[in-house]
């Protein structure tokens, strides 16, 4: 694996930083195109099939990663103004994320403190706005900082201090345009520490400017990690995506950078071939960034619809059981929606991608899961040296849940 371009993280403003970054990726892509190579791990890695099927491992992942860890609940643009709110319920308990009148984003259990009714009955990706939330059961009312501000029939609660019945707050942090929530537990979120040296790379994307265009849910009948694996290698483009990405992108070719446990991976477009012989000064100026993986379950793809016209796709994968995945998928206009025709193009980027993911990637994942569920006891899948991102994802997850990867048959 080549080193990152040293200039890419030091540019003064995000746009030139993205361009420097894209230039570094282009340089490495062209060298792979010329040599027919890809960034690789030192060797293949066997992975015991139980990583995808074991209930105890799934329980540990849900507990340690999805309930106990910081998870991306959305982007700043999902609740840009005071009073904006959205539901985040994919990690476990239903949570309301809302921006208060002081501009701060907070997260609360979507649970009335009277008798536990659900305040907002809609599921993710619901979003809305309002200065207050009124419980549908007996109309207790809370403001957008979680304070209980009205109780009908208040005299019946004479000994019940109103302040003691505010909404139950859960840890939440807004950083670099990402909103992180810890669904269970009270430890504050240190997003900068969580992102580590990946932060400057994400900062280039200016995620705080992204405006949502379309959101939905994709389902896979597979373990969440099998679905996640499909975002980390381009080895399947030519076969599985023969009529889509396989046409436009090089197969089995990637530029990969680890910022453990996160990573960035870019897949060279065939249109780059035209520049293979060109002088670097004549290369096109792009801001293409590729796939940005935020541990443990979020994939942010920054790409171009056409030169100069970008979109950001965010896939957040959640386990619904050892063998079921719910993916919250959203597409954003990275720097705001400039006009209706641009909005329509970004919307089309949602529809096209949702179809490919659903009918191709998740189809294969679902069938593979059935096989793995019934695989011989000693069966291991093998992650090739060319599937380096997957190797590192599985190692990082195993480490984070404190369960070593099971002994696997040698590659």
What are the residues binding ligand FES (CB under 6 A)? 112, 114-115, 117, 135, 137-140
Report the residue number, 53 or 113, with the smaller CB distance to ligand FES. Answer: 113
- In the stretch 318-357, what mask flags binding to Fe ion with x, by CB under 5 A? ----------------------------------------
Secondary structure of the chain in the HEC alphabet? CCCCCCCCCCCCCHHHHHHHHHHHHHHHHHHHHHHCCCCCCCCCEEEEHHHHCCHHHHHHHHHHHHHCCCEEEEEHHHCCCCCEEEEECCCCCCEEEEECCCCCEEEEECCCCCCCCCCCCCCCCCEEECCEEECCCCCCEEECCCCEEECCCHHHHCCCCHHHHCCCEECEEEECCEEEECCCCCCCCCHHHHHHHHHHHHHCCCHHHCEEEEEEEEEECCCHHHHHHCCCCCCCHHHHCCCCHHHHECCCCCEEEEECCEEEEECCEHHHHHHCCCCHHHCCCCCCCEEEEECCCEEEEEEEEECCEEEEEEEEEEEEECCEEEEEEEEEECCCCCCHHHHHHHHHHHHHHHHHHHHHHHHHHHHHHHHHHCCCCCCEEEECHHHHHHHHHHHHHHHHHCCCCCCCCCC
Q: Which of Fe ion, ligand FES, none does 287 bind, CB closer than 5 to 8 A by kind?
A: none
**Nearer Cβ to ligand FES (166/358):** 166
Residue 84 interacting partner from Fe ion, ligand FES, none (CB closer than 5 to 8 Å by kind)? none
Shortest CB 119 distance to ligand FES, Å: 7
CB of 110 to ligand FES, least distance (A): 11
| Partner interacting with residue 137 (select from ligand FES, Fe ion, none; CB below 5-8 Å by kind) | ligand FES
Residue 74 CB, nearest approach to ligand FES (Å): 25
Smallest separation, CB 310 to Fe ion (Å): 20
Residue with smaller CB distance to Fe ion, 333 or 368: 368
Instruction: Pick what 313 binds: Fe ion, ligand FES, none; C-beta below 5 to 8 Å, kind-dependent.
Output: none
Q: Is 361 in the site for Fe ion (CB under 5 A)?
A: yes
269 lies in the binding site for Fe ion (CB under 5 A): no
What does 114 bind: ligand FES, Fe ion, none (CB cut-off 5 to 8 Å by kind)? ligand FES
Q: Which does 361 bind (CB under 5 to 8 A by kind): Fe ion, ligand FES, none?
A: Fe ion
Site for Fe ion in 207-246 (CB under 5 A): 230
- 111 vs 299 by CB, closer to Fe ion: 299
CB of 406 vs ligand FES, minimal distance in Å: 45
- The CB density around residue 228, as the number of other CB atoms within 10 Å, is 26
Q: How far is the CB of 184 from ligand FES (least distance, A)?
A: 21
252 near Fe ion, rule: CB under 5 A: no
Closer of 96 and 265 to ligand FES (Cβ)? 96
- CB 397, min distance to Fe ion, A: 20
Q: Do the beta carbons of residue 34 and residue 276 sit within 8 Å?
A: yes
Q: How far is the CB of 149 from ligand FES (least distance, A)?
A: 13
Residues that bind Fe ion (CB under 5 A): 230, 361
């Amino acid at each position: 694996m080549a080193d990152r371009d040293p200039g890419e993280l030091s540019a003064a403003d995000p746009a030139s930083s993205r361009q420097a970054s894209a230039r570094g990726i282009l340089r490495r892509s062209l060298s792979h195109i010329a040599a027919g190579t890809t960034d690789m791990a030192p060797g293949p890695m066997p992975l015991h099939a139980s990583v995808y099927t074991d209930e105890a491992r799934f329980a540990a992942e849900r507990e340690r990663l999805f309930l106990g860890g910081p998870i991306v609940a959305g982007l700043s643009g999902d609740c840009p103004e005071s009073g904006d709110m959205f539901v985040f319920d994919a990690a476990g308990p239903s949570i309301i994320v809302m921006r208060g009148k002081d501009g701060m984003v907070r997260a609360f259990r979507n649970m009335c403190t009277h008798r536990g009714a659900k305040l907002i009955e809609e599921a993710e990706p619901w979003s809305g706005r309002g200065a207050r939330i009124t419980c549908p059961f007996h109309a207790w009312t809370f403001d957008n900082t979680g304070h209980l501000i009205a109780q009908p029939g208040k005299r019946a609660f004479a000994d019940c201090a109103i302040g003691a019945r505010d909404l139950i707050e859960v840890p939440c942090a807004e950083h670099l345009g990402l909103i992180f929530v810890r669904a269970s537990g009270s430890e504050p979120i240190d997003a900068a520490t969580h992102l580590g040296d990946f932060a400057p790379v994400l900062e280039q994307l200016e995620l705080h400017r992204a405006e949502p265009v379309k959101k939905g849910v994709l389902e896979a009948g597979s373990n969440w990690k099998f679905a996640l694996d499909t975002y980390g290698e381009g080895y399947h483009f030519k076969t599985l995506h023969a009529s889509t990405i396989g046409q436009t992108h090089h197969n089995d070719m990637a530029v990969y950078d680890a910022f453990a446990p996160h990573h960035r991976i870019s897949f060279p477009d065939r249109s780059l071939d035209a520049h293979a012989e060109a002088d670097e000064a004549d290369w096109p100026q792009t801001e293409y960034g590729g796939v940005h993986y935020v541990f443990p379950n979020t994939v942010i793809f920054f790409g171009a619809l056409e030169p100069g016209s970008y979109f950001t796709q965010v896939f957040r994968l959640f386990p619904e059981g050892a063998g079921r995945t719910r993916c919250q998928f959203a597409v954003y206009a990275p720097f705001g929606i400039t006009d209706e025709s641009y909005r329509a193009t970004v919307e089309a980027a949602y529809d096209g991608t949702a179809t490919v993911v659903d009918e191709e990637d998740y189809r294969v994942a679902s069938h593979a899961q059935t096989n793995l569920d019934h695989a011989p006891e000693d069966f291991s899948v093998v992650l090739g040296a060319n599937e380096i991102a997957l190797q590192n994802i599985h190692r990082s997850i195993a480490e984070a849940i404190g369960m070593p990867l099971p002994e696997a048959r040698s590659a």
